[in-house]
């Protein structure tokens, strides 16, 4: 891509995110969201492949509809209460509309249908941006308005997301779609606790972003986009393969890896809030996700694919792995003992 | 249902008598004699004039509706069961370990019914094409006569093509389904031709209609001898064309959402043609390491 265009897109993404997360007027929040949408469109459609174009069209339509719903909900609130402040969203219609709009932005069930296709159509780095950076502004808005949103609606969307993210991820063979469903499932965990302890949502989001960044960067370094390529990657980069397995298990939420921390704290908080049934249901549903992560990890490391000998040894890989993968992998796997520090600083 | 049909018929007959009522613009399509007026008034020379409105040719039958519903529900049940087994109805390790797969085999009339043949008759040309089972029900024989005579409608410049396309994969309740060929990198065909060159087309049904004419093509050169040929065409060789025009911006085909495969003959030579196909399959050729055979449009691609 033209370096100037790349720079403008990157700066616009940063600008849009900063505008939204630092805003307290609805108009500024909407502006930031729109800037983000428009800035990432050229990144998704960069390769001009029909599937990439299709992904960018789908992304644009969904995000534009969601942004207009956000604007509409803020205007309804301003009409009835005169308040444009994000934290003062009190009118029930506005709250309902905003919940729908944020669910569309994030990809929460039942507005998740666009997410796997969009991720499948974009390159790995763009998919990383879509899964992590583009989720940050809507989660910020959700955080600011969480005290006035309907708990039942959020809980039911969260449980449905965990269910569908686990269920639909089971038969996927394209890695980006699997990561899309993992994202949907994690968003379910983030949404279920936002009413009771918004700080935990942030912790979950940060840890999820870190683990997902690790996975995407590792996949980018080894150019893995489907399961069969993942099966053959141990011959080329055995160390990276082993760390990929650990990161996948961390994303699944297995102790003693980092990914266990948010799940543990969320279950703890839900139980304290007398929501034991919801905690049990969402934990059981994340077992489905655990199954496909385990399967990914198993096929990445333990199986021996039917390769011919000339594929076994490759003397170089195309992309040099930077230090970022090393740092992020260490953090994704080893941060659990530091949980008191994490909780008190975030 | 019978009531609806009589109502529509009576409206149609009444409309034919009184044409100038205010409701005419709204109920116009019901009163018109030919349905093609809904789309455009020009009709291609090869297509038949439509004298019956489309709703008159529907068979309103309650029993048939129930039967169709039962079939669709049983298809849905089968799909759910296949989903529980694994991707494509097979266990996951089968999917990961398979290196060959037979897609279409021609052993009975049912196998032939999965394919559709067409020729330039649809634009007014004179080529003929037929599909039947070969000797001993061991192959399909696609045969006919190619005629490059241009139809005289004032706008067509070229003519003379015959083709055979697989029917689009359809799930329960007429949902679009796709084939996942991402595990493989070559097409494997066992054919016996007559020396004429054929074009193999792959259609990846896009979500939006802007790309509905996109087709990935490559050529299949047959020998014509009495011996069967096993032709391997790697997917990296397929190039993109749209409405028959080869595009500048080329990219490799993505095999995770393939819709149909087709064979076309259009080598501008008048005369008979024959192609026997035993089976069409997929192969994961480990010796083939090429990713894409053509130059991509991007001048300085990232390394």
**Which phi and psi (to 5°) does residue A161 adopt?**
-65, -45
Give dist(CA A104, CA A113) in Å, integer.
Answer: 9
Residue A131 CA to residue B176 CA, distance in Å, equals 27
The per-residue pLDDT for range A102-135, each reduced to its tens digit, is 999 999 999 999 999 999 999 999 999 999 999 9
Q: Contact B303/A117, CB-based, under 8 Å?
A: no
Domain boundaries, chain A: 1-122, 150-345
Taken in order A205, A208, A210, A213, the sign of the CA dihedral is: negative
Strand (E) or helix (H) holding B276: strand B271-283
Own/partner contacts of B35-40, CB < 8 Å, gap of 24 or more, are none
pTM: 0.88
Distance CA A23, CA A25 (A): 6
A-chain CB neighbours of B180 within 8 Å are: 173
Better-scored residue on pLDDT, A273 or A309: A273
Mean pLDDT of B108-131: 93
- pLDDT in the model for residue A29: 95
Residue A252 pLDDT exceeds 60: yes
Q: Which residues pair with B216 in a beta bridge?
A: B202, B240
Task: Report the sign of the C-alpha dihedral through residues B284, B287, B291, B294, in that order.
Answer: negative
Of A57, A173, A305, the CB nearest to B87: A173
Residue B86: its pLDDT value, please? 87
| For range B59-80, the mean pLDDT | 92
How far is Cα B86 from Cα B267, in angstroms, rounded to an integer? 43
Min Cα–Cα distance to chain A from B251, Å: 7
Share of chain A above pLDDT 70, in %: 95
Q: Do A318 and B303 touch (CB under 8 A)?
A: yes
Least confident of A169-178, B39-48, B138-147, B202-211: B39-48
Instruction: Output the pLDDT for position B290.
Output: 85
> pLDDT tier at B18 (50, 70, 90 boundaries)?
very low
Look at B87 and A50 and tell me if their CB atoms are within 8 Å: no
Contact B211 A50 (CB under 8 A): yes
Termini Cα distance of chain B: 64
Query: CB–CB of A306 and B99 under 8 A?
Result: yes
Does A240 score more than 50 pLDDT?
A: yes
Nearest chain B residue to A169 by CA: give it.
B87
Interstrand relation of B271-283 and B100-105 (parallel, antiparallel or unpaired)? antiparallel
For the domain spanning B100-283, the CATH number is 2.60.120.430
Q: To which residue do tokens 């050229």 refer?
A: A42
Q: What is the pLDDT of residue A277?
A: 95
Confidence of residue A309 (pLDDT cuts 50, 70, 90): very low
Measured between alpha carbons, how far is A80 from A95 in angstroms, rounded to an integer?
A: 13
Q: What backbone phi and psi angles, to 5 degrees, belong to A345?
A: -90, -25
For residues A183-193, give the mean pLDDT: 96
pLDDT for the residue numbered B1: 55
Q: How many helices (H) and strands (E) does chain A have?
A: 16, 0
pLDDT digits (tens, 9 = 90+) for B240-289: 999 989 998 899 999 999 999 999 999 999 999 999 999 999 999 888 88
All residues of chain A having their beta carbon less than 8 Å from the beta carbon of residue B287 are: 308, 310
Residues in chain B closer than 8 A to A226 (CB atoms): 182-183, 256
Is the pLDDT at B154 greater than 60? The verdict is yes
User: What's the mean pLDDT in A300-329?
Assistant: 69
Size of interface A-B (CB pairs under 8 A): 56
Q: Do the chains contact at B87 and A51, CB–CB below 8 Å?
A: no
Measure the CA–CA gap between A73 and B23, rounded to whole angstroms.
Answer: 40
pLDDT at A297: 86
Chain A residue numbers touching B254 (CB-CB < 8 A): 49, 51
pLDDT score of A174 more than 90: yes
Q: Residues A252, A259: contact at Cβ < 8 Å? A: yes
Residue A280 or B249, more confident: A280
Query: Sorting pLDDT into bands at 50, 70 and 90, what band is B23?
Result: very low
Domain extents for chain B?
A: 61-97, 100-283
pLDDT at B9: 59
| Residues in chain A within 8 Å Cβ distance of B297 | 48
Chain segment A48-79, per-residue pLDDT in tens: 899 999 999 999 999 999 999 999 999 999 99
Nearest to A228 among B96, B251, B303 (CB): B96
Residues in A closer than 8 angstroms to B100, CB to CB, are: none
pLDDT value at residue B51: 76
Is residue B207 less than 8 Å (CB to CB) from chain A? yes
| Shortest Cα distance, chain A CAs vs residue B265, angstroms | 26
pLDDT at A292: 87
């Amino acid at each position: 891509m033209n370096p100037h265009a790349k720079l403008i897109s990157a700066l616009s993404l940063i600008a849009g995110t900063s505008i939204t997360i630092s805003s307290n007027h609805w108009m500024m929040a909407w502006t930031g969201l729109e800037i983000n949408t428009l800035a990432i469109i050229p990144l998704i459609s960069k390769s001009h492949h029909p599937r990439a174009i299709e992904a960018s069209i789908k992304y644009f339509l969904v995000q534009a509809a969601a942004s207009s719903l956000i604007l509409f909900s803020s205007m309804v609130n301003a009409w009835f209460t005169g308040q444009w402040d994000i934290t003062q969203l009190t009118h029930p219609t506005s709250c309902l509309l905003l919940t729908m709009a944020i669910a569309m932005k994030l990809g929460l069930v039942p507005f998740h249908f666009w997410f796997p296709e969009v991720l499948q159509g974009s390159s790995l780095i763009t998919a990383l941006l879509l899964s992590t950076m583009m989720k940050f502004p809507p989660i910020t808005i959700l955080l600011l308005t969480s005290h006035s949103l309907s708990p039942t609606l959020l809980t039911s969307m969260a449980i449905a997301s965990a269910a569908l993210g686990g269920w639909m991820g089971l038969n996927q063979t394209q890695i980006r779609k699997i990561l899309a469903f993992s994202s949907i499932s994690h968003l379910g965990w983030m949404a279920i606790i936002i009413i009771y302890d918004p700080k935990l949502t942030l912790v979950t989001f940060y840890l999820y972003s870190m683990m997902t960044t690790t996975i995407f960067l590792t996949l980018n370094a080894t150019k893995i986009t489907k399961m069969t390529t993942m099966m053959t990657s141990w011959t080329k980069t055995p160390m990276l393969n082993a760390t990929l397995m650990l990161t996948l298990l961390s994303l699944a939420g297995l102790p003693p890896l980092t990914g266990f921390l948010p799940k543990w704290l969320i279950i703890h908080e839900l139980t304290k809030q007398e929501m034991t049934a919801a905690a049990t249901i969402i934990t059981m549903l994340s077992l489905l996700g655990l199954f496909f992560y385990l399967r990914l990890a198993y096929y990445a490391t333990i199986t021996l694919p039917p390769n011919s000998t000339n594929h076994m040894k490759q003397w170089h890989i195309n992309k040099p792995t930077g230090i970022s993968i090393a740092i992020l992998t260490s953090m994704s796997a080893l941060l659990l003992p530091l949980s008191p520090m994490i909780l008190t600083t975030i | 249902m019978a009531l609806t049909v009589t109502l529509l018929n009576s409206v149609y007959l009444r409309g034919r008598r009184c044409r100038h009522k205010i409701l005419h613009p709204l109920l116009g399509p019901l009163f018109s004699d030919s349905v093609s007026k809904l789309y455009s008034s020009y009709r291609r020379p090869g297509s038949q004039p439509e004298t019956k409105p489309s709703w008159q040719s529907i068979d309103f039958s309650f029993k048939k509706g129930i039967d169709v519903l039962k079939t669709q529900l049983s298809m849905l049940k089968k799909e759910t069961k296949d989903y529980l087994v694994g991707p494509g109805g097979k266990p996951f390790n089968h999917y990961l370990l398979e290196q060959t797969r037979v897609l279409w085999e021609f052993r009975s009339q049912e196998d032939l019914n999965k394919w559709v043949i067409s020729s330039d008759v649809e634009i007014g040309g004179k080529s003929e094409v037929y599909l039947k089972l070969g000797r001993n029900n061991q192959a399909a024989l696609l045969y006919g006569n190619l005629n490059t005579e241009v139809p005289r409608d004032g706008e067509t410049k070229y003519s003379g093509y015959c083709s055979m396309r697989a029917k689009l994969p359809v799930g329960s309740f007429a949902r679009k389904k796709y084939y996942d060929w991402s595990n493989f990198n070559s097409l494997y065909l066992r054919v016996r031709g007559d020396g004429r060159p054929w074009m193999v087309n792959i259609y990846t049904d896009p979500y939006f209609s802007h790309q509905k004419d996109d087709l990935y093509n490559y050529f299949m050169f047959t020998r014509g001898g009495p011996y069967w040929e096993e032709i391997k065409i790697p997917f990296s060789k397929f190039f993109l064309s749209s409405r028959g025009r080869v595009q500048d911006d080329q990219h490799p085909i993505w095999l995770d959402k393939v819709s149909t495969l087709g064979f076309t003959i259009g080598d501008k030579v008048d005369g008979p043609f024959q192609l026997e196909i035993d089976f069409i399959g997929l192969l994961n050729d480990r010796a083939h390491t090429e990713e894409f055979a053509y130059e991509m449009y991007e001048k300085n691609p990232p390394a």
